[in-house]
Chains A and B, each alone.
Chain A
Amino acid sequence: MTLFWKWAIGIFLVLLLGAFAGLSVMAGSPKDAYGMLRYALPHMHSGKLKVGDDAPDARLVALDGSARFHIRERTGGAKPLVLVFGSFT
Chain B
Amino acid sequence: MREAHPTDEWMMKSNFKDDVCYKQPKNLDERVVIANDFIKRYKYPVPFGIDDMSNAAEGAYSAWPERLYVIDERGHIAYRGGMGPFNYDPKELRGWLAARYGEVQHPDAKPAGTQPGGAKPGDAQPGPGTPLGTAPKS
A8: CB under 8 A from chain B?
no
A58-B66 contact, Cβ under 8 Å, with A49-B77, A51-B78, A89-B4 = no
Nearest-neighbor residue (CB-CB) of B18 within chain A = A89
Are B52 and A65 closer than 8 Å at their CB atoms? no
Task: Kindly identify, within residues 19 to 45 of chain B, every residue whose CB is under 8 Å from any CB belonging to chain A.
Answer: 20-22, 28-29, 32, 34-39
Which B residues touch A82, using CB under 8 A? 68-70, 93, 97
A6: CB under 8 A from chain B?
no
Are A80 and B37 closer than 8 Å at their CB atoms? no
Cα–Cα, bound, A61→B15 (Å): 25
Are B10 and A39 closer than 8 Å at their CB atoms? yes
Using C-beta atoms within 8 Å of the partner chain, give the interface range for chain B.
35 or more
Nearest-neighbor residue (CB-CB) of A81 within chain B = B71
Which of the residues B61, B65, B68 comes within 8 Å of A44, measured between beta carbons?
A: B65
Which of the residues A54, A73, A88 comes within 8 Å of B3, measured between beta carbons?
A: A88
Nearest-neighbor residue (CB-CB) of A43 within chain B = B64
A35-B65 contact, Cβ under 8 Å, with A51-B79, A80-B73 = no
Cα–Cα, bound, A47→B60 (Å): 8
Which A residues touch B15, using CB under 8 A? 89
Min CB distance B119 to A, Å, is 19
Are B79 and A89 closer than 8 Å at their CB atoms? no
B80: CB under 8 A from chain A?
yes
A65-B32 contact, Cβ under 8 Å, with A43-B2, A59-B52, A84-B46 = yes
Are B62 and A49 closer than 8 Å at their CB atoms? yes
**A interface residues, Cβ below 8 angstroms from B:** 32, 35-36, 38-40, 43-65, 67-69, 71-89
